[in-house]
Amino acid sequence: MRAAEYRFESHDGLPLFSRVYGGPAAAAPVVLCLHGLMRNGCDFGQLAVRLSARYRVIVPDVRGRGLSARDPNFRNYQIPVYLQDLTTLLTHLGAARVAIVGTSMGGLMAMVLAATAPQWVTAIVLNDVGPEVDPVGLERIRRYAGKAAPVRNWAEATAQLRLTYSVAWPGLSDERWEELVRLSYRENAQGLPEVDADPGIGELLRETSAAAPDLWPLWSALARVPMLAIRGALSDVLSASTLERMRRSRPDLKTLTVANRGHPPLLDEPECIAAIEKFLAASAGGT
């Protein structure tokens, strides 16, 4: 199914963008897909198409990424502001209840929304993130976020992307890397590829710890929210010990560890697709 483009204005006047996959019927359950820190909604293209056979799928570009406008005040790149944008979007689209698939930052957003405004959230898939972020992974992200050197062509952009993610995504074909770079970069006014995210996002990350809050104090508030936690076996963001603590604290937590993947799994892996479809069918009204 081809996505419709939906453009709207945030509470503070910023032009924002989302893709909307209509699903099989107007009353179909809704899945909201939330991307990671320096990523954009294109990451969910394959998964969204597949899920749209059963669900209405909403895939926003969070402010500062993709086709959403860059914010002139980089200090607005924080979860509370993102959640204001999300609730505006969901209200405009008439999506009163959603299951959320959240990668990294998107998973943090999902947890905060479910804990503070539970009326919105039916279920959560956390992709390689939990109530705490491993300091090793956070420091790695701080080093690269918003610091990509200029590139002169798509071959250089591909090499740059591989340098950033080769440890997390070993064994990908050259063709897959070329697909991923087109999802991660966009041509600027001069026709040169640029990372499709505002460099200011990284400035706030280096200035504060706001992008990686300690969510253990909110974790108990999520006890009634069905949840699937996916971890890349090589992840330096969601540690094995954190995932085990999550599992101990709520025995009903569904989990999946993806071999040969770091932070984050791409969600095109067959085991991820199967686990997400099974989980949503059981918890989000899918059939």
The model's pTM: 0.96
The per-residue pLDDT for range 131-149, each reduced to its tens digit, is: 999 999 998 998 899 899 9
- What confidence score (pLDDT) does residue 249 get? 96
pLDDT at 287: 42
pLDDT digits (tens, 9 = 90+) for 41-63: 999 999 999 999 999 999 999 99
What's the pLDDT score for residue 205?
Answer: 81
Residues of the chain with pLDDT under 70: 1, 208-212, 285-287
Query: For the chain, what is the mean pLDDT?
Result: 94
SS (H, E, C) the chain: CCCEEEEEECCCCCEEEEEEECCCCCCCCEEEEECCCCCCHHHHHHHHHHHCCCCEEEEEECCCECCCCCCCCHHHCCHHHHHHHHHHHHHHHCCCCEEEEEECHHHHHHHHHHHHCHHHEEEEEEECCCCCCCHHHHHHHHHHCCCCCCCCCHHHHHHHHHHHHCCCCCCCCHHHHHHHHHHHEEECCCCCEEECECCHHHHHHHHCCCCCCCCHHHHHHHCCCCEEEEEECCCCCCCHHHHHHHHHHCCCCEEEEECCCCCCCCCCCHHHHHHHHHHHHHHCCCC
Structure confidence at residue 162 (pLDDT): 97
pLDDT at site 285: 62
